[in-house]
């Protein structure tokens, strides 16, 4: 089923990430971490679908997406960047396999953090963040999405890594790989949640397996 919904607000978060607040269709429901296919409700764009994760919670009155735009080519996210309140998007059925299964470590690459936003917001609201950890890799510290919000979540451990700008404050200059996990993740029996570029997720799955993590304890988008 398709729903044409109005954009209510567009809010900048970083130099290439914006928050889109939308109307919520009656009865539209999802679990934190789930997504839908979105397209722009304009001639020539309605059939160009891209998957985006809800970053709102299910009981909010409005929907929210947190979307990184790739400005170097004329695709959907580049066009989204120029949309304003009053423009419309098309939403479809809900899907997704990154849903919460218990305490553990969330590891993301860049905009791969978006499926974790609603999960961690829900846990924060429930006062249930103790025992959870968030590790996010970005190119620079300026690329970290919702850093202030995550750092303010009581009980959530966080670790930011960057591949550039080694002098940035409050971050590690490192890549998240097997050596990194060996050094920074002592408990390999816990749950792990992975999201990011496909090669990164594949490498991390292999690295975790090599360190003894059980395959059934690793959640990722299939």
Residue 188 has a pLDDT of 92
Alpha carbon of residue 123 to chain centroid: 15
Is the model's pTM score more than 0.75? yes
Q: Identify the CATH number of the domain defined by range 104-220.
A: 3.40.50.80
- Rounded Cα distance between 145 and 141, Å, is 9
- Rounded Cα distance between 93 and 79, Å, is 22
Residue 218 has a pLDDT of 97
Where, residue-wise, is CATH 3.40.50.80 in the chain? 104-220
Residue 175 has a pLDDT of 92
Q: Does domain 3-95 have CATH number 3.40.190.10?
A: no
Residue 133 has a pLDDT of 97
Residue 83 has a pLDDT of 97
CB neighbours of 82 closer than 8 A, spacing ≥ 6? Answer: none
* Residue pLDDT, tens place only, 82-121: 999 999 999 999 998 799 999 999 999 999 999 999 999 9
Alpha helices in the chain (DSSP H): 76-81, 114-125, 147-151, 178-184, 198-210
Among candidate residues 57, 166, 168, 65, the one with its CA nearest the CA of residue 111: 65
Cβ neighbours of 60 (radius 10 Å): 13
Residue 73 banded pLDDT, cuts 50, 70, 90: confident
Residue 71 has pLDDT above 80, yes or no: no
Residue 222 has pLDDT above 90, yes or no: no
Among candidate residues 83, 134, 125, 146, the one with its CA nearest the CA of residue 106: 134
Residue 153 banded pLDDT, cuts 50, 70, 90: very high
For range 40-67, the mean pLDDT: 97
């Amino acid at each position: 089923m398709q729903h044409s919904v109005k954009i209510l607000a567009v809010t900048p978060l970083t130099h290439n990430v914006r928050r889109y607040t939308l109307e919520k269709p009656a009865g539209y429901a999802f679990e934190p971490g789930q997504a839908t296919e979105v397209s722009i409700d304009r001639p020539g764009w309605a059939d160009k679908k891209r998957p985006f994760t809800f970053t709102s919670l299910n009981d909010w009155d409005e929907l929210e997406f947190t979307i990184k735009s790739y400005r170097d080519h004329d695709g959907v996210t580049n066009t989204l960047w120029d949309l304003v309140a009053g423009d419309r998007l098309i939403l479809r059925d809900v899907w997704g396999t990154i849903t919460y299964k218990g305490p553990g470590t969330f590891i993301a690459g860049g905009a791969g953090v978006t499926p974790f936003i609603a999960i961690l917001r829900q846990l924060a609201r429930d006062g249930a963040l103790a025992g959870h950890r968030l590790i996010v890799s970005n190119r620079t510290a300026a690329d970290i999405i919702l850093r202030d919000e995550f750092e303010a979540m009581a009980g959530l451990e966080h670790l930011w890594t960057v591949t550039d700008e080694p002098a940035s404050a409050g971050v590690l200059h490192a890549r998240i790989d097997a050596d990194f996990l060996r050094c920074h993740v002592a408990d390999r029996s816990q749950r792990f949640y992975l999201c990011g570029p496909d090669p990164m997720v594949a490498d991390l799955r292999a690295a975790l397996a090599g360190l003894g993590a059980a395959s059934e304890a690793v959640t990722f988008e299939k």
